[in-house]
Amino acid sequence: MKKILKWFFGAVLLVVVLAVVLLLSLDTILRVIAENRIRAQTGMDAEIGKFHVGLLEPVVSIENLRLYNPPAFGGTPFLDIREIHVEYDRAALVKNQIHITLMRFNLGELDIVRNEAGQTNLFSLGVALPAKNAPGGNIGLKEFKQRTGLDFRGVDVLNVSVGTARFIDLKDPSHDRAQNIGIDNLVMKNVKTEADLAGLAALVALRGSEVFGVLVDQKNSGAEVQKLLGF
């Protein structure tokens, strides 16, 4: 009997220790899962400096997320996102709704790359462009619900920062250029559809005209980038 009790309490202690280790390692595990998921769905290598999911508070935060272009674009950097911080309504999530009370998005750098074949990563990597005639500009939200089964109820407060945009021409480096967008803590409220971001897109296009202007000048992608940036 003593041996059985000793074994039982030893097993319970082992389970408790493993549970504690799992909780302490949860963010690391989720970070690795997120990196692998991004790589599987985009074909781009991903590095996440820090990934945190609150267990007691409705918070998800990602710091220093870097995406790298596939070999066709030299494996160069694509996005350097310094922070994505999300605070959400837990009660809404129980009802299969996404209601974000606060979101901070800090894009440190965007690198637009044209490879030696003349392809541009923004278009070759499958950037989805919203249809102009979509009612309310919310076609993306319909797709979101189809893929996740969740209704998007909007973002109460969106805080956006955008740093630098670069254009890199792997065939002719003389075309390379960089421009500081310089958007720092721009606050937007009640964001519910893509149309609510039109002003932000216009501001980014205006402040990054030297970089994005290169794309507009391209014969095959000019119309696409005008749609993408809301020209």
Residue 14 has pLDDT above 60, yes or no: no
CA distance 136 to 188: 18
CA distance 211 to 127: 18
Task: Tell me phi and psi for residue 62, to 5 degrees.
Answer: -130, 135
Residue 130 has pLDDT above 50, yes or no: no
Residue 166 confidence (pLDDT): 94
Question: What is the full DSSP assignment across 54-69?
Answer: -SSSSEEEEEEEEEE-
Listed range (34-43, 59-68, 199-208) with the worst mean pLDDT? 34-43
Residue 231 has pLDDT above 50, yes or no: no
Give the confidence band of 142 by pLDDT, cuts at 50, 70, 90: low
Residue 13 has pLDDT above 60, yes or no: no
pLDDT top residue among 200 and 28: 200
SS (H, E, C) 135-170: HHHCHHHHHHHHHHCCEEEEEEEEEEEEEEEEEEEC
pLDDT in tens, 98-124: 899 999 999 999 999 999 988 888 877
Task: Return the SS3 of 220.
Answer: coil
Residues 6 or more apart in contact with residue 173 via CB below 8 angstroms? none
pLDDT top residue among 192 and 42: 192
Average pLDDT over residues 75-86: 92
Counting beta carbons within 10 angstroms of the beta carbon of residue 2, is it exposed (0 to 12), middle (13 to 18) or buried (19 or more)?
Answer: exposed
Q: In Å, how far are 33, 48, 91, 109 from 64, measured between CA atoms?
A: 16, 6, 29, 11
Strand order in the sheet with 151-169: 45-53, 59-68, 77-88, 97-114, 151-169, 177-191
Give the confidence band of 9 by pLDDT, cuts at 50, 70, 90: very low
Residue 127 confidence (pLDDT): 46
pTM over 0.85: no
* H or E stretch at 18: helix 2-42
CA distance 153 to 93: 10
pLDDT top residue among 132 and 64: 64
Listed range (48-62, 95-109, 204-218) with the worst mean pLDDT? 204-218
Average pLDDT over residues 180-204: 91
